[in-house]
Amino acid sequence: MPYVTVGKENSGDIQLYYEDHGSGAAVVLIHGYPLNAASWEKQVPALLSAGYRAIAYDRRGFGRSSQPTSGYNCDTFADDLHKLIKHLGLRDFALVGFSMGGGEVARYAGKYGTKGMSKAAIIGGIPPYLLKTADNPDGVDESVFKGIEQAVSADRYAFFTEFFKNFYNTDVLMGKNISEQAVRASWNVAASASPTASVACVPTWHEDFRADLAKLDVPTLVIHGAADRIVPIEASARRTVKMVRGARLYEVKDGPHNVAWTHAEEVNRELLNFLGKSAAKGASS
């Protein structure tokens, strides 16, 4: 099981677990809250079949990665991603981020620029800025996020049960686009996450990514479920494409938050068309 060390907490190393499969141009997959790299299981085979090198990792605090009690902010997440990219020696890579992973794509561009980055895709992403402020009047009131933090702190297991109902729009899609067992599997992954990370990541959902998006100057695809109840499309994807020059938006009709699972065939088709067959032949290191 490969790991990369990204820091220390007291006497212990902070390590990220990652999987690195295939060859060709690298595609780095960044998962959403509160899942792990395994949430890309419907995308990795499609990428490998198309000739890409698929790299997926567990964010600190989640999955098989270390569970420190600090570093749960988008700047640190971008630093962790940068260290993984340097560790693997990637020089021609695409970044694909889901949900808060979309924020990490944006923040990576904001902190490190796009040198070496060939393309970017944001699926169900939290950019550009979800918090209601004087200069962002259409955002969500901070009290909503505080309420989520309190609910996770009080009983994260109960919170996850309700959260996944809206994560997958189970009242509409259960038995058609997702099974009860798949929802239960997501709950199990969430339950294994760090209690600290489960709470501390909530404020990252409303970080301001507007300046970061301005630096995202590579071809960018934005995919979003039109029926997303976690990150409403009007407040996120439809605004993001206006801030990234040349970005293209693909809306998944009736799609919930995690369209990468419920509408995998549709998402994979759009993602592979965007990445392009010619890129799959390129070297990644």
Q: Under a CB-based contact definition with an 8 Å cutoff, are residues 113 and 212 in contact? A: no
Q: Which CATH superfamily does the domain covering 3-277 fall into?
A: Alpha/Beta hydrolase fold, catalytic domain (3.40.50.1820)
pLDDT at residue 138, as a whole number: 86
Residue 192: per-residue pLDDT? 98
Model pLDDT, residue 277: 54
pLDDT (tens, 9 = 90+) of the chain, 285 residues, equals 799 999 999 999 999 999 999 999 999 999 999 999 999 999 999 999 999 999 999 999 999 999 999 999 999 999 999 999 999 999 999 999 999 999 999 999 999 999 999 999 999 999 999 999 999 998 989 999 999 999 999 999 999 999 999 999 999 999 999 999 999 999 999 999 999 999 999 999 999 999 999 999 999 999 999 999 999 999 999 999 999 999 999 999 999 999 999 999 999 999 999 999 544 444 333
* H or E stretch at 94: strand 93-98
Residues labelled as active-site residues: 99, 228, 257
Distance, in Å, from the CA atom of 200 to the CA atom of 77, rounded to the nearest integer, reads: 12
Query: Global pTM?
Result: 0.96
Residue 202 neighbours by CB distance under 10 Å: 21
Cis peptide before 34 (omega within 30 of 0): yes
Distance, CA of 117 to CA of 80 (rounded, Å): 16
Are 50 and 270 spatial neighbours (Cβ–Cβ below 8 Å)?
no
Alpha carbons 16 and 195: distance in angstroms, whole number: 17
DSSP tag of 229: S
List C-alpha distances in Å: 53 to 189, 271, 284.
Answer: 25, 14, 8
What is the predicted pLDDT for the residue at 196? 98
